Every structure is written in C-alpha cells, then in structure tokens.
Structure 1
Amino acid sequence: MEENTNINSEFEYGSDAIKTLDWKEHIRRRPGMYIGKLGDGSHADDGIYVLLKEVLDNALDEHMMGFGKQIVVEISSEVVSVRDYGRGIPLDKVKDVSSKMNTGGKYDSKAFKKSVGLNGVGIKAVNALSSSFFIQSYRDGMSNSVSYACGEVVSESGLMPTDEPNGTLVQFSPDGTIFKNYAYREELIEPLLKNYVFLNTGLTILLNGRKFHSRNGLVDLLNEYMTTEPLYPIIHLSGADIEVVITHSNQYGEEYYSFVNGQHTTQGGTHLTAFREAATRTIKEFYAKNFEYTDIRNGMVAAISIKVEEPVFESQTKTKLGSKDVGPDGPTIAKFIGDFLKKELDNYLHKNGEVADVMLKKILASEKERKAIAGVTKLARERAKKANLNNRKLRDCRIHYNDTKGDRQDESCIFITEGDSASGSITKIRNVETQAVFSLRGKPLNTYGLTQKVVYENEEFNLLQAALNIEDGIEGLRYNKVIIATDADVDGMHIR
C-alpha cells in the first residue's frame, strides 16, 4: 500500500497562512482583547460602556492634572459626544493619537503623572469599533479635527481658527455590525459618572443636561451606596495620593469600594488587599486586644482611592490592580497604605473616643456571635449530615459543579421547590444527570433582623446548606445554578 504523505492539502501550513493585520482590523476582529465582552448595553460591563469610559478617562486625566473642571456628555440613540475643557491635544498630533497604536501622551509621566490610560490603545479601540468617529482639539485659538469610519480616515480639517475654549471633543457611534441591537441606558451610565465626581471633588459632569457633582468625595460615595445605616459617623482620611473612608454597620460580611487613579477596580487588587490588612491591624493594635481579624472586619464598609504612577492592571479593562509599587521610585503599595493608616486612623481613634467606643462594641458583638455560631454550627452540621443520610428532601443528580472529572459540571443545577407536590412534579421531568431537586417545608424562617445564630439553628436551612455543600464556604457549592421554583403567591415571594 502506498503511503499518503499529503493527507489534506486544504490544511497545509505554509507561509501564505501567516497574516499581518493592520491596527484597526485587528481590533475589529478581536474586540474582546480590548474592551472585554460586546453585549447590547443591557449590562454595565458591556462593550458600548467601555467605549464611553475610554473617552471619559482621557477627559478625566486632564482634570486630574489640574486642567478643566467640567465634562459635558451627550448621548442620543446613535451618537455619543464627550467634550472636556482640558489642555487640548497638540494640534499636529490629533490624527496620530486617534489612529496610531502605541501612540499617546501618557508614556511621559511628566505630562500625565497618574493616569489610567497607559497603553496608547483606548481611543484607537473606540475609533476602530465605531461606524463613525470624530475628534477635534481646541488649543489657544486654533483647532484641528479628523473624521473616521470604522477606523478609516474620511476627512481632515487642518488647522483652523476657533473661538472655542481649550479642550477636546470626541463624537462616536458604536458599529451596529459589531454591537448588535445595542442601546445606551442612562441608569447604567449614572453610577460611572457618580464615581468620577466622588473621586474628584470640584469636577462637574453634565449628562444630557443633568448635573453630577460631589463636595465630600468618598463620604458621598459611601452614603450613596451603603445598604444599611452606619453605626458611627464615617471616618474620612485623606493625604497625598490617598483617600480613605471607613465605618461599620449591622450587616454581615464586608463591603469595599476601591479605586486607582479614578478607575473603579471592581475586582480589587493589591491596593485593596493592603488596605484590608492595614486597617484591621491598626484597629487591633489600637485596642491592644487579641481580636480575630474577621471580627474586626465583620460589618465594615469602606472605600479607598489611591493614585500611583504607571499602574499595572491585570486586563485592558482595568478592573484589578496588579502593581506592587506606587511608582518607579516610591514605596510598595502595602507600605504606603500601611504607613498612612497606622498614623491617620490611629490618630483619629485616639481623638474621637465616641467613635472608638461604638467600633469596639461592634467588634465585641461580632466576636460573641462568632463563638456562639461555632457551637451551633457544629451541632447543626452533625444533625444535617445524619439527616442527609436519609434525606428525602434532596433528590440529587449525578454530575456536580465541583466534580473533578467530566465536562458537564456547568450544567449542574438544583431546583428549590415549595413542598413535596411541586418537587414531585419537577422530579418526574428532570434530567437526572444534571438536575437535582430540594423540597422545602413551606416558608422556613423570616430571617430579616435576626442574628446568624438563630438562622444557623434552623433545621430546614441546615439541611439545605448540607445539600448545597456550603457549610465551609461558597467554594464547595455542588451546583452551578440554584433555581428557586415556587408558586407565584405571597408564600412563594417570601421564599424567594
């Protein structure tokens, strides 16, 4: 038999298979590399909001450098317009900064010392992913503008006289062939603009005529986003390149908001880790008691904003800080934040005895409850495990989310039903491979306003907790989706 050395010529790998894309084609083919997911505007992290944010960040950087106190944003169904009143792009570089990759003013830390736009990519991505893009710079009585379509130059104005004050105007329309059926939603834009003004006192942003402004910085931010009342007046500390606010509430767990150079780092990073450690350590040392860190942080609500030179983020969308240092010649972020809190937070607690007393009572209450829960949980786990051996409430499936084998873990789910009749109906039609059913005995317990101890003593909840395998934390969850399947009445709403 003759050997076939050319199995499939269609898949030959030769020099013709190597392609070089120009900057705009690469962005349009691989938009996820630059702006994350695309979406249609129904979620705050959809691509059209990243485009808006990239333009806003440039305007914000001007304000942070001390130029321009107002940014005007206008959004219609098709066109987004952002006008800042900063220095204006150097007129001979308007085309370069909007269409040449790795070109921008933020490589020079003297011009933009603490900027969020670092890679010379953002505005170019907006350009390439827009069906129309227009940029105009006003500088010292002259202007220059360039129009694009999908990153291709359509026209250039050249230098022209103008009566407009200094600054930059950017107008763009996201490409409908990339962002299918998109629509901007003001309710998703508002939190972004609020964060900008909270982090930059003195800045005013107008959105379609609506004014966003903050006088008290991060204090306003905490008052805006806190879901419960603070137990004591918000502690507000600020210094060179750092601002911190801290309080406690009667909620469980911790709640943090972190920012770097005006960028909301929703996934935290090195600065948030350093803050949590330093704040807890400072408080523990102030009281000179051997408190558990978890008791100090239970109920803590805080925000931190720092400014660093040349920050390193873990993605182009800048949601998590990876930097270890505040700048090339500066201390580590951990030392910078630690030294600041050791001095300022310790001083504040010494000067404000009433606040320190309320904080101490909260920590002691958390410690007492944690110890009480430890005893209750141990007994409850033993009861739940015994009951689980013959747990008729749980009709399990074969594939679980925390399985180490198989490729269908993401399909696993559990239906939490109201009563045996409902669970029986779902059980008959479920997929036994991936769908589990747990039957509740009506309304287990109204937990509103109750302590964790009372909740952990509830047998129904313990059985459910054991079924979900979350006694030691959410990491052990056995199902990728938890589906509440109840009647559309008052009892069903209560359970939901």
Structure 2
Amino acid sequence: MSELNKEAIAAGSGNGNGNGNGNYTAENIQVLEGLEAVRKRPAMYIGDIGSRGLHHLVYEVIDNSIDESLAGYCDNIEVFIHPDNSITVSDNGRGIPTDLHEKEKRSALEVVMTVLHAGGKFDKGSYKVSGGLHGVGVSCVNALSSMLKVTVCREGKVFEQEYSIGKPLYPVREAGTTGKTGTTVHFKPDTSIFTNDIYDLEILSSRLRELAFLNKGIRLSITDEREADENGNHPHFSFYSENGLRDFIEYLDGMREKLMPEPIYIEGEKNDIPVEISMQYNTSFSENIHSYVNNINTHEGGTHLAGFRRALTRTLKAYADKSGMLAKLKFDINGDDFREGLTAIISVKVQEPQFEGQTKTKLGNNEVMGAVDTLVSELLNYYLEEHPKEARTIVNKVILAATARHAARKARELVQRKNVLSGSGLPGKLSDCSERDPELCEIYLVEGDSAGGTAKQGRDRRFQAILPLRGKILNVEKAMQHKIFDSEEIKNIYTALGVSVGTEDDSKALNLSKLRYHKVVIMTDADVDGSHIATLILTFFFRYMRELIENGYVYIATPPLYLIRKGNNERYCWSEEEREATVAEFSGTGKESNVHIQRYKGLGEMNAEQLWLTTMNPEFRTLRQVTIENGTEADRIFSMLMGDEVPPRREFIEKNAKYAKIDA
C-alpha cells in the first residue's frame, strides 16, 4: 500500500464510529482528491511544518530549475524574498510546456502545477537525472501556498496561471510576447499550515552556495527585499563556481591546515553513473565526508559513500604496504585511520535513485557502490603513483591516526566499563531522576557547580536530571581522540547519557540503544563565557554525538536576561525589546527611576524557584532545539570558530558584531 493511500485511509477512519453503529465500513473511507492529501499531511511531503519545511518549499522550486541546468538548458537562477515573505524563483530554462496534455485535456503547465507525480522527470528523454521530490515537488509547493503565480516564457509567448491553495483561479492564458525563455514561480506559503512563515536569508544563501559548487557553471543569486541600506540597496548575494567540487573543498577546508597543496580530484563515469569527488587531508583529527545524489545532501550516506570508503581503504592500504611504511607498526590499521583528517565531497548523478525515507537521506542503489568503488580505486591509484610526496604524507597521517586510535581504545573501554545503568556506575556529580523511560526523561548539562546546585534544588526530580560541568570542556576540534576520552567532563557526559561508542567498522559510531534521556539540555550563563561553553559542548556533540542532534534530542535552555520590578509587579524579559516595552509599560507617566531592572548575567543569580519558573518548567520555559540545516556549512563554521586559524574567526566576529550587545 502506498504512503498516500495509507494516509488517506487513516484520515478517514477516525474512531470507527462514522456510521453510528461502531462498524468499520466503506462509509468510513475518505478519499483525498488531488492535492488535498498534501494539505492534510504536509509533513509527509516536506519533512515538517516549521522552519525546515518552509525553506524546503523554496528548494523544491529551485530543484526544477537545477534540473533544467543538468539537462543543459539553464545557466542562471534568481531568488527573491519579498517584503511580505513571499518568494520568487526565476530561471532561463526552456519553460514548462504549456500545450494541451492529451490525457488530462488541459494545459501541461496546469497538470505539472496541480497533479502529484506529474512532470518530465519520469521521461528519460526529458531529464537524464533530477532531484526534487520526483514529480510532487512543485505541486506540493502549490498546495501549501495561499497564493502562487507561474509565468512561462516559451516559443515567443508569455503564459501565466494563478492558484490559491493549489486550485487554479483561471485556465492558462497568454499574457504577451517575448524573446526569452524560462519559468518564474512566485508563491506565498499558507500561514495556516506553517508554524513559522519568516524566511532566513542565511539558510537560503547557504543552499544556493552549495548548489553553485555542486553544479559548476551555473549562477545562482538571491535578493532580500525586506531590508535596504541608506542608498536603497537590498542585500544581494551571487554564487558561481567554475571548478565545482574543487572550489567546494577549498571553501570547506579554508579554516584547516592542509597537508597537500591541491585537493585530490576524481571525475568520471562508470555504468552510466557520473561520479565527481574532491578530497583533501588536513592536520585535524575529525572525518568530514559530505555526500550528494543529484544535488540532494544524503547526510545518512548510502551506497555511494560505502563505495568511496571501501575503495579509499583498500587503495591506500595497498600503497602503504607496498611502500614498506607499515613495517614497524605493531598493530593493524582500520578504515577509520584512513579517514582521520580527511575532508571529502562525493557527488553522483543517478537516473533512478532509490532513497530510504521520504526526505531522501540515504541512497540505496547497489549498482552505485560498485561504480564509485571502481572509479575511486583507479584514479586514486594513479594519483598516488604520480604524487609520491603527497602519498607519503597521507600514509604518515594514517599511521599517526592508527597510533592515536590504539591509545584511545583503552580510554574508551574504560569509559564504557563504567557506563552501566546502576547508580554506582554513574558520575558522582549526576543528580539523576526517578523516571526510567528515556522518552520522559531529560538531563540538564549545567555550567558550574553553583548553578548546578541551584538547578538541583529547583528541578522536578521525577523526570529531570542535572549534570554540573566544571568550567570549559575540552575543545574537541583541536584534540586527538584519546585526549577526548581522557577528559573527565566528557567521560561524565558519555557515562551519564548511557551511550556507547565504537563498532568494528567505525570507532566513532554512537550506539543510542541505552540512551537514558531523550532531551539533553545545555544550560549556561547568558554571558560571553556561557556562550563559549555552549559552543564547546555543541562542537563535541556535532563531532562525536551527531546522532543525538539528528534524532532531535539536543536543546539549549533559554534563561531570561532581565527581571523588571515596580512595586508588587514583576516580569521576566528574554530580549532587549521585551525589556524596553516592559519598562515603558511599568513607567507609565511616572519616572523610570521607580522601575528596578535586574540583569541576569549568570544562572547563579537566580534562586531555585526563579530558575524552575523561567527556565526549567515545561509549562513556561522556552527550549531551542538544535538541528542541522546544512551539514557542510555547520562543518565549516565549527572549524572556523574552534580551529587554529585566527583570521577567518576575526572576520566572522567583525561581520556579526552588529548582532552583539555589550552591557555596561
């Protein structure tokens, strides 16, 4: 049974009492016509109805334009964010066909915009490869928009049609003549569907930059009409890459110290599968491999990643053995050692990709593994033979990684021997909760013993656990793995959470089967040191416990910045705007001096009751869930913020200094 049919039946079945006698009959079955299924279960098609789903609408429209570029008909894509948070995406492709669709007896443009699974992507003569949602993308955008207008320039004419929540307002009509070709889609997301309707320029810009790297020779630009400088100019960013993945790897690794002058570049085609790979070793201790299929970031990997890893390990191992550089090593080398300090981008184009999951995060095509494996083995072997100096540098890095891993294994095993559910195996500083169902439990990682003590007094002991952390934890971005497991604070986090790390295939893989809490809340002071500590913890989670973030288990607490008092009236404020509004309200026509403003710079300045009321009580608190919107950009930012290179960090701080506020 298809997912669509299952959802349609579920939507109509209710509690089985539709006919009044408790029987489940044909009367209970509700058939969702056209795009109604999308509006009934939007998250099933776009992931969620929050910020991620909102931005996904833009990606789906852009994907259609990218498909035109992959077919060789488009080299310019423009995106506009309008003042009302509507979006326009315009390209110079061929334009969606507007002639009569023989089966549907209406314009092909209307069919594409209003019928699920309709599009040229199913005809291999139209598109060799494509991304998007395989024919449901642009129609989903239409269904979830209060207004959408599509304008097509094709065959010397301009055609247009408008829709409201997916329904055409009039048949496709001619609207003039033109010498151009292309498609322009202007839409406004339906605010009755989405919990957030404000577009983030940074999120959209990051995706356009990524697409420019993945599709060399295409220009993508974005203009934000919601803001303007003193000259009336709107923020505008344009992205273009002549060298594709080679430029991408330089961008991602710009904050790391390289071990070779140029990235290794692999490009070719095996079994009608185009493969493009760029890779570079650096002095870091983390593995950063990003994989794509038809421009879709497959953050869970799949067969293309498995083929790359297999070929990399086998080819480098053979070269290292042949060179005699491993002769004095007293223990075996494994796959992890060949990937430490490696940044790589793998991009494949597959005619009929099979993805696991609705949001396509893992590739399942078995034939892709062999194609990537064969190509990488051949071309990497050529590179090693032709670049002996770089080859020896890589092997020396592998030997260093193996030596460190051997030392780390003992430290890791020590952590995991303590990692049991009995109280005696838990960290001494942990104040655990009485509940044992992980779905109902949450743990607060609190900055300092003082704030930890307050949190212990203020918490609900049934489901809230407290783990105080002493000072700043280790910066894992600049530490070898065995140093990480030697860190007392990090050992306490592993042990308290109940997770184990390391498998035979991947020494950094995280096992969440015994995770003791499904909410891990970072709670630090609202000052510079507190922000630094939170960033250190997030860096550790991103590099070594990323599965926690991907499963939606990591949160950041939001303590108030101010307590405003006047007489018996008091109110907590979480922003400068709230503070100003509250002071103005409390002051009235009187003097501001009558209003007392308390600035909370640390959690310890609140008593247990205040901390519970504002920051820990599920009825009133605000928790910010940590998500990964763009894995490659997150990788780059963590490297910049926590790595050794100072100039990029200084540039980032100067660029974002306008968002900071300094308290006297």
TM-score clears 0.5? yes
The answer as to 2:29 corresponding to 1:18 is yes
Q: Which residue is equivalent to 2:68? A: 62
Change (3 A) 1:143 1:391: closer
The answer as to 2:296 corresponding to 1:269 is no
Letter in 1 for 2:247: D
Q: Which residue is equivalent to 1:396? A: 432
Change (3 A) 1:484 1:75: closer
Change (3 A) 1:134 1:291: same
What is the deviation of 1:223? 2.5
Q: Which residue is equivalent to 1:351? A: 386
Q: Which residue is equivalent to 1:229? A: 257
Q: Which residue is equivalent to 1:303? A: 345
Q: Which residue is equivalent to 1:372? A: 407
Change (3 A) 1:492 1:198: closer
Worse-matched range after superposition: 15-24 or 195-204: 15-24
Q: What per-residue deviation string (whole Å, max 9, x for no partner) do you get for residues 152-189 of structure 1? A: 11123534551241121211111111124411111000
Letter in 1 for 2:135: G
The answer as to 2:237 corresponding to 1:210 is yes
The answer as to 2:517 corresponding to 1:479 is yes
CA distance in 2 between partners of 1:494 and 1:51 (Å):
34
Contact 2:142 2:166 in 1 (8 A): yes
Letter in 2 for 1:363: V
Aligned to 2:150, which of 135, 143, 146? 135
The answer as to 2:397 corresponding to 1:362 is yes
CA distance in 2 between partners of 1:391 and 1:192 (Å):
42
Letter in 1 for 2:430: L
Contact 2:74 2:91 in 1 (8 A): yes
Change (3 A) 1:38 1:446: closer
Q: Which residue is equivalent to 1:75? A: 81
What is the deviation of 1:277? 2.0
Where do 1:87-166 residues align within 5 Å? 87-92=94-99, 93-117=108-132, 119-159=134-174, 161-166=176-181
Q: Which residue is equivalent to 1:291? A: 333
Normalising by the residue count of structure 2, what TM-score does the alignment of the two structures yield?
A: 0.65
- Secondary structure of the 1:342 match is helix
Aligned to 1:242, which of 275, 278, 281? 275
Q: What per-residue deviation string (whole Å, max 9, x for no partner) do you get for residues 325-381 of structure 1? A: xxxxxxx11110011011111101111122112111110111111122234455676
Change (3 A) 1:484 1:125: closer
User: C-alpha root-mean-square deviation of aligned residues, in Å?
Assistant: 2.9
What is the deviation of 1:28? 1.1
Change (3 A) 1:224 1:27: same
CA distance in 1 between partners of 2:25 and 2:419 (Å):
63
Worse-matched range after superposition: 483-492 or 101-110: 483-492
Q: What per-residue deviation string (whole Å, max 9, x for no partner) do you get for residues 120-149 of structure 1? A: 211111111111111222222123221111
What is the deviation of 1:17? 1.8
Aligned to 1:314, which of 356, 360, 363? 356
CA distance in 2 between partners of 1:444 and 1:154 (Å):
59
CA distance in 1 between partners of 2:380 and 2:426 (Å):
53
- Secondary structure of the 1:88 match is coil
CA distance in 1 between partners of 2:477 and 2:142 (Å):
50
Contact 1:271 1:334 in 2 (8 A): yes
Contact 1:116 1:311 in 2 (8 A): no
Letter in 2 for 1:87: R
Letter in 1 for 2:122: Y
Q: What per-residue deviation string (whole Å, max 9, x for no partner) do you get for residues 10-37 of structure 1? A: 6443332222221122211111121110
Where do 1:392-431 residues align within 5 Å? 392-400=428-436, 408-417=437-446, 420-431=449-460
Q: Which residue is equivalent to 1:254? A: 287
Change (3 A) 1:236 1:390: closer
CA distance in 1 between partners of 2:62 and 2:381 (Å):
37
Contact 2:90 2:182 in 1 (8 A): yes
Worse-matched range after superposition: 211-220 or 228-237: 228-237
What is the deviation of 1:412? 1.7
Q: Which runs of 5+ in 1 are unaligned?
A: 1-5, 325-331, 401-407
- Secondary structure of the 2:63 match is helix
Q: Which runs of 5+ in 2 are unaligned?
A: 1-16, 100-107, 224-235, 327-331, 503-509, 535-664
Letter in 1 for 2:91: D
What is the deviation of 1:244? 0.2
Normalising by the residue count of structure 1, what TM-score does the alignment of the two structures yield?
A: 0.86
Contact 2:494 2:500 in 1 (8 A): yes
What is the deviation of 1:67? 0.6
Change (3 A) 1:442 1:36: closer
Counting matched residue pairs gives 472
Q: What per-residue deviation string (whole Å, max 9, x for no partner) do you get for residues 295-329 of structure 1? A: 111222100111111112224433332222xxxxx
Q: What per-residue deviation string (whole Å, max 9, x for no partner) do you get for residues 40-85 of structure 1? A: x3xxxx2221111111111111111111211122221332111211
CA distance in 2 between partners of 1:165 and 1:159 (Å):
15
Change (3 A) 1:438 1:206: closer
Contact 2:412 2:485 in 1 (8 A): yes
Q: What per-residue deviation string (whole Å, max 9, x for no partner) do you get for residues 106-129 of structure 1? A: 111111011124632111111111
The answer as to 2:368 corresponding to 1:340 is no
Contact 1:131 1:150 in 2 (8 A): yes
Contact 1:468 1:479 in 2 (8 A): yes
Contact 1:388 1:466 in 2 (8 A): no
Change (3 A) 1:314 1:463: closer
Contact 1:35 1:317 in 2 (8 A): yes
Q: Which residue is equivalent to 2:635? A: none
Aligned to 2:40, which of 29, 43, 57? 29
CA distance in 1 between partners of 2:476 and 2:62 (Å):
43
The answer as to 2:296 corresponding to 1:278 is no
Q: Which residue is equivalent to 2:185? A: 170
CA distance in 2 between partners of 1:249 and 1:222 (Å):
11
- Secondary structure of the 1:9 match is coil
Contact 1:228 1:249 in 2 (8 A): yes
- Secondary structure of the 1:113 match is coil
Letter in 1 for 2:204: I
Worse-matched range after superposition: 250-259 or 7-16: 7-16
Change (3 A) 1:452 1:310: closer
Change (3 A) 1:164 1:392: same
Contact 2:73 2:93 in 1 (8 A): yes
Q: Which residue is equivalent to 1:403? A: none
CA distance in 2 between partners of 1:78 and 1:448 (Å):
37
